[in-house]
């Protein structure tokens, strides 16, 4: 806050600041609660109180007597998974909000840049063709593929000196190309089992997530959020398009590249670890905008929070909808997301 701010303004700001901090705290509590619930659900149900006791024990705050199997399951398997789900939702929603603002297209989402298609190509190159001779993991392959697709789109759309529409078209072209390559490899070189593995991975699963993945995602999504928040005002300036932004003093080309690269890193990181999880990046920003309005300084944190909660809930749903079996998370986000999205669309229509 600036020192030149006048007193009456400061007086107006204080309650707003308190209100916002309260909201933030409440949101974090809700995330904590849903993460706790998520941790308790599984083949071995664990009560919420045990979950929190394990966490406080591990943090060294308490020393309850606890079942060691419970402690291991919670700490080593389920907690990392639930927290990762929260980060994943936050990251995808954030990336979606950025894409929608900068491309000024309500349908834009992280995968518009062909990132998921690139990731899948990278993955099949490793899994089926055995590229990298075991030295490169599936995740790294997917990350490289995702980034290759992003560079392809960046070159194609900037080479054409394009605006927002060109970027979207370039993204569609990239998606088609990389999906075709993936299908080609799967049909010509893969066996049925490999095809099934790739398919399952593509639809998304938090199954393989442990602490190392969580820390990496925490760093990427955390830094991504901070970086995007620095651009909040610049994103506001894009409201009336590229030219209006430029005439307000925004370096449009540079901003685009930086923000695209940020979304690409966030998305590629997530996709490479858990596969493609659609719809979160599309739906959550709309929901958040509907509640908190279009100002990015508020919208971006709201997207991260709503995205986190939504994804943890989706992860819970993926494990309880069908007994003894877990659905791919991408299936759940779409099944839950579409009706929810329809409600928003309907209400938006009535509001306007």
Question: Which residues contact another protein by CB under 8 A?
Answer: 1-2, 4-6, 9, 104, 106, 230, 233, 236-237, 239-241, 243-244, 246-251, 289, 293-295, 352
| HEC sequence for 198-220 | HHHHHHCCCCCCCHHHHHHHHHH
The two three-digit tokens of residue 235, written as one number: 């994103």
CB 84 within 8 A of CB 206: yes
Distance of closest approach, residue 13 Cβ to another protein, in angstroms: 9
Distance of closest approach, residue 111 Cβ to another protein, in angstroms: 21
The two three-digit tokens of residue 49, written as one number: 């109180």
- Tell me the C-alpha distance between 336 and 119, whole Å: 24
CB 97 within 8 A of CB 89: no
Nearest alpha-carbon partner for 39 in 31, 220, 221: 31
Distance of closest approach, residue 352 Cβ to another protein, in angstroms: 6
* For another protein, the closer CB: 192 or 351: 351
- Tell me the C-alpha distance between 121 and 126, whole Å: 9
Distance of closest approach, residue 25 Cβ to another protein, in angstroms: 23
* For another protein, the closer CB: 96 or 204: 96
| Element holding 167 (H helix, E strand) | helix 164-189
Distance of closest approach, residue 206 Cβ to another protein, in angstroms: 33
Residues 6+ apart with CB under 8 A from 331: 203, 318
Q: What burial class does residue 347 get, using C-beta atoms within 10 Å of its C-beta: 0-12 exposed, 13-18 middle, 19+ buried? A: exposed
* For another protein, the closer CB: 192 or 226: 226
* For another protein, the closer CB: 155 or 244: 244
* For another protein, the closer CB: 70 or 295: 295
* For another protein, the closer CB: 15 or 249: 249
- Tell me the C-alpha distance between 329 and 202, whole Å: 10
Distance of closest approach, residue 24 Cβ to another protein, in angstroms: 19
Distance of closest approach, residue 297 Cβ to another protein, in angstroms: 11
- Tell me the C-alpha distance between 112 and 276, whole Å: 12
Distance of closest approach, residue 106 Cβ to another protein, in angstroms: 7
* For another protein, the closer CB: 172 or 246: 246
Distance of closest approach, residue 167 Cβ to another protein, in angstroms: 17
* For another protein, the closer CB: 6 or 188: 6
Which residue in the block uniquely carries the two structure tokens 């959550």?
284
Nearest alpha-carbon partner for 214 in 261, 269, 264: 269
- Tell me the C-alpha distance between 164 and 185, whole Å: 32
* For another protein, the closer CB: 197 or 236: 236
- Tell me the C-alpha distance between 234 and 236, whole Å: 5
């Amino acid at each position: 806050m600036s020192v030149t701010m006048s007193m009456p303004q400061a007086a107006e700001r204080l309650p707003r600041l308190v209100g916002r901090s309260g909201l933030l705290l409440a949101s974090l509590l809700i995330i904590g609660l849903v993460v706790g619930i998520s941790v308790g659900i599984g083949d071995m149900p664990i009560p919420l109180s045990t979950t929190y006791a394990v966490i406080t024990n591990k943090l060294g705050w308490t020393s309850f007597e606890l079942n060691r199997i419970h402690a291991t399951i919670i700490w080593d398997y389920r907690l990392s998974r639930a927290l990762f789900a929260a980060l994943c939702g936050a990251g995808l929603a954030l990336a979606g909000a950025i894409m929608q603002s900068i491309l000024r297209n309500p349908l834009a989402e992280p995968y518009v840049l062909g990132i998921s298609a690139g990731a899948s190509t990278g993955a099949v190159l490793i899994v089926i063709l055995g590229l990298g001779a075991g030295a490169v993991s599936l995740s790294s392959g997917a990350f490289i593929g995702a980034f290759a697709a992003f560079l392809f789109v960046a070159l194609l759309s900037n080479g054409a000196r394009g605006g927002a529409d060109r970027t979207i078209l370039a993204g569609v072209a990239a998606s088609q190309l990389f999906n075709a390559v993936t299908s080609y490899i799967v049909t010509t070189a893969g066996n049925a089992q490999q095809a099934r593995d790739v398919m399952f991975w593509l639809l998304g699963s938090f199954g393989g997530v442990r602490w190392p993945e969580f820390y990496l995602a925490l760093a990427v999504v955390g830094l991504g959020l901070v970086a995007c928040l620095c651009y909040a005002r610049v994103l506001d300036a894009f409201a009336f398009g590229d030219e209006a932004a430029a005439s307000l003093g925004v370096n449009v080309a540079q901003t685009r590249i930086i923000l695209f690269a940020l979304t690409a890193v966030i998305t590629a990181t997530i996709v490479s670890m858990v596969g493609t999880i659609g719809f979160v990046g599309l739906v959550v920003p709309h929901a958040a905008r509907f509640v908190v309005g279009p100002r990015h300084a508020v919208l971006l944190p709201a997207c991260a929070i709503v995205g986190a909660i939504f994804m943890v809930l989706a992860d819970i749903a993926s494990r309880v909808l069908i007994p003894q079996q877990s659905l791919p998370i991408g299936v759940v986000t779409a099944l839950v997301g579409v009706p929810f999205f329809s409600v928003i669309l309907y209400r938006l229509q009535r509001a306007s």
